[in-house]
Every structure is written in structure tokens, then in C-alpha cells.
A and B are shown apart, each in its own frame.
Chain A
């Protein structure tokens, strides 16, 4: 019987012929740690009594969640991670180098890899044809120390997407729609595989948005077959030698199949306080925008910033709306500066902050006040997410966020396209 992409990758990394539901010990190619979960992973490795990591060249440590550090406790956590990286010889990405998932995609993740990260959005790597998933600190400590981990091979939901995105509608809108359809636990324990003409013609940056948010439907992984878009992205980042053809067999067994036409898709929003609480923006009613946040591992890429700058050019933000832009990585920041986007942002009245997670996780750089709304391009709107349980988060595409910053309220961006 044929295999899904997950079954293929996990079989190859375990040396066994695996199918869905099997338990297996699997070799790990890449590990990711960040400053929220990394210090605990380092302590767990000490608990294990393991001094060396198996493959330092496959481990990347990121100081991105609290960057620069707003508190002495976090500065001390940063010291722990810097020392760990120095001692073990693994890669360190210090403050200002960007969000872990963006940098991993640019520099490390390749088709066929097994990537585990102490961060739930590690599933972002599925866009590149890797089996990439989030775990806790102890799992990552063990993966670093032994070079392997255990998995239950997931069943796969096949999502077939056809049609063409209309102007002003993006991968983010599609993914919010899908999560609304599946529900926040609609894909728990499962992998989602994205296919169909609308996915095949999607460039890598848009695929990364989709894989990134697979976990918001509970999925273990959100995977794309590798193809010419994968190749083009690897080439852009000087890694074309890492390309490998990888797709599911025609007779692979799927848990279920969902068909979606994107022709009719409109800009979507996730209303507080769950990601699956989605609606078309045009039906969301009046929502005042106290703050607009453009950034995160979901939507802080150069392509996102270009869309935003096109909408903002020559305009000013609503005077009651504060605007924060956080490029996802240093490379994105530099490119945005070179292309004049940063100038557009600042003239528009936005604040541009250090590449990293920015305001996404409520540690710094844009914590909401009581009763305030944030229109955000990030991926979670849980109660308390942006640092205040009395705040309200609305998740949208960069275009919708940009339109909302002009209007001072949640706004449909299609008039700008």
C-alpha cells in the first residue's frame, strides 16, 4: 500500500516500514529551541546527566520571544542559552536575528527532514516538505541528547484546494477559514496535507503561513509535497542542493479528504478568544482598532510587508490607532529597508520593532490595555495572549491589518486591490 509524506519520512528515519498509528523511535535531523522553552530544555538535559549533544550542527537556539529582554529574569535565561550554545557548539541566533520559524525556514529546514522544536509552531517547516512538529522542553532535551525521539505516526487529512485566490484574499484567509471549518481540535494527532492547484501555485511564503497555523486546528504537522516552489525558495536562500522530490503515493491512505474552492473565499477574521471563531471580515461588525500588529512567524515576511506598504503608501494611520510592525527576521528587515518599505511604515505613523516575536506573546513591545482591541497578523487570540486577559485579539491577514490601521477599525482590504 502507498504511503503519505509523513509515513515516508518517518519510515526513512526509523529504518522500519511504518504506517499510521504505529509507534516508532525516529532519528531527528533538526532541533529548535527558543528563549521561552529553551532554558527548561537545558536544565532537563542536565537532569539527564547528558553533557554533549549528538549533532550540534542540527540544533538552533533562538533569542526571539523576549528580544531585547525586558526583565532581568529573562536576561538571565538568555545567558543560560548563550552559554549552552557556546558550550555545545550549536547555532545561536541572538537578539534581532528573527523569529525561530522564519530563520529555520530560511537556513535549515529541507524536504524530508525530521524537525522537532520546543515551540508549537515548529509545524511551519511542513511547508518545505519536512516532518516538523512542536514538543515540550523535555522532549527536545532528549532529542538533542540522544538524537532521536518517539512518535506515533499520524493519520493524514488531505485538504484539496482548487480555484484561484481573488485580489485582497490570501493564504491567511484560507487558513482561518479552514480552522473555522475543522475546529480547534479538528485535526488533533493528525497531519494535514495540502494539495490541489491552488496550493501548487502558492509560493513558499504563503505556504509557510498555512503550515504555521496547522497546529491551530490541533494538527501535529501541516505538510506540502516538494515541488518547483520549494526548489525556488531553497535556491533563493542558497540551499538548492537540499532539494529532494517528496510526495505522497497515489494509493496512500488518508483519514479523510476535504475539498475547498478558494474562488469564493473572502477576507476572514478570528474573533476573540479562539482561533476557530472565524467570520468573514465584512460580517464582523464594528471593531475599533486600538492597536494594529503586523508581524510574527505567521505573517512577518517580506511579501507581507510589501502588501502592507502598497496599501499604506502616501497615507497616514488613523490617529487613534497605534501601529507596530515587526519584521520576522534580520534579512526581512534589511530587504524592507532597501526597498524603502521601512520609510513608508514610519511615515505612515507605525513603530518598527526588533525582528523577533514582537508583541505576539505578550512579553513586551505592545501589551494591550484593559478593554483594548488588537488587529493582529499573528496566529493566536487566546485570552491573555498579548499580556492582558482584558484585551481582545482579532487575527487577520496583513492586508486586512493594513486597511484597519487606516480606517481605525477592522476593515475589509479589498478596496485597495
Chain B
């Protein structure tokens, strides 16, 4: 799959409290409404301006903290096609796969805010069309690719009636 969009750049340690703030706890059963506040405390403009297919690009330990799956879910609802970071917190990473949001681990220093990217998920290549930089990333473990390619864990289980991962 080829993804294309613009970079929204964030720093290290973007917690799930920053992605889906506790003060909007009451909106957790209204995800479209909650998505209007996604990453609000890290970048107040993000939710308003992010375009369909754009990328969230973070630093180290993206998504640390609470297990709230609402965090990757509202990033996806906001139209983001993929999250790229130097490293991810475990639960966020797993949740993203489960809800069908691709996640890529690679060095993000060379990706600047506003850059246009083209990403080939299968080949593991990020092309920065603005800076002409090309980056490679390791593919996901097979178990995760299987879930992701079915569109997330719910679809995976519905399709196979059980876990079908190696």
C-alpha cells in the first residue's frame, strides 16, 4: 500500500494524556467529538488542520501511558493514515495495529513539519518528496501484519473466527 500526505511533527514522549486528554473523558463514547480534541495539548491547530492521509510523526516513546485505545482511534478518525516515530510505547503500538492504524518505527529526525511523504508499507520505504531524503524501515512482525492487513483485530477475528497468526 502506498500512502501519501503531509508531516505533522511532534516531540518525544507524546503520552495518551496528550493525545486524548482526561478532561474529555466524558467524550469517550462519542469518538467523533473526542477526535476534535486529538493532540490538542501538544498542538492546538492539529485537529483543525490535519488533512486526510497526513502523517503524525513523533520522537521517542510515542503513546506512552494509559491503555486508552481511544488515543490511536481518534488519530485515525482525524484522517491520519500512519504514525511514524523513533519508538513506541508497547500498548499504544498494539492498540494501533488492533484498530488498523499502521505504525512505523524509524529515525524521524530528518522528517520536517509540512514535508510531503510517500510511504510504501510493504517495501518499507519512506520518500520525503520535499527534502528528497529516503528512509528505510523494518517491516512489522508477521503476527501484526496479519492483523493489520485484515483491517484490525475485530475484522481479523470476524474473518477467521479465531486468531490466525503465526
Contact = CB atoms under 8 A, between A and B. Distances in A.
Interface of A: 23, 25, 36-37, 39-40, 44, 47-49, 65-66, 71, 73-74, 76-77, 80, 117-120, 122, 134-139, 141-142, 145-146, 148, 150, 152, 184-185, 188-189, 215, 218, 220, 274, 361-363, 367, 380, 382-389
A138 B98 contact: yes
Interface of B: 13, 15, 17-18, 21-23, 25-30, 41, 60-61, 64-70, 87-91, 94-95, 98-99, 141-143, 152-154, 157-158, 162-163, 165-166
B76 to A, nearest CB: 13
Contacts of B91: 120, 134-136, 215
Given A138-B99, A361-B22, A389-B41, A37 B157 contact: no
A178 to B, nearest CB: 16
B154 to A, nearest CB: 5
B87 A384 contact: no
B23 A139 contact: no
- Chain B contact residues: helix, strand, loop or mixed: loop
A36 B68 contact: yes
Contact of B18 (A48, A145, A383): A383
B99 A389 contact: no
Given A44-B154, A73-B29, A188-B89, 19 more contacts: A48-B158, A73-B27, A73-B30, A119-B66, A136-B68, A136-B94, A136-B99, A138-B69, A142-B153, A145-B157, A185-B61, A188-B88, A218-B64, A361-B22, A363-B23, A382-B65, A384-B41, A386-B22, A387-B22
B23 A384 contact: yes
A148 B153 CA distance: 13
A185 B163 contact: no
14 contacts: A48-B154, A118-B67, A120-B65, A120-B66, A135-B94, A138-B99, A138-B154, A142-B154, A145-B157, A150-B143, A188-B61, A188-B89, A362-B23, A384-B22
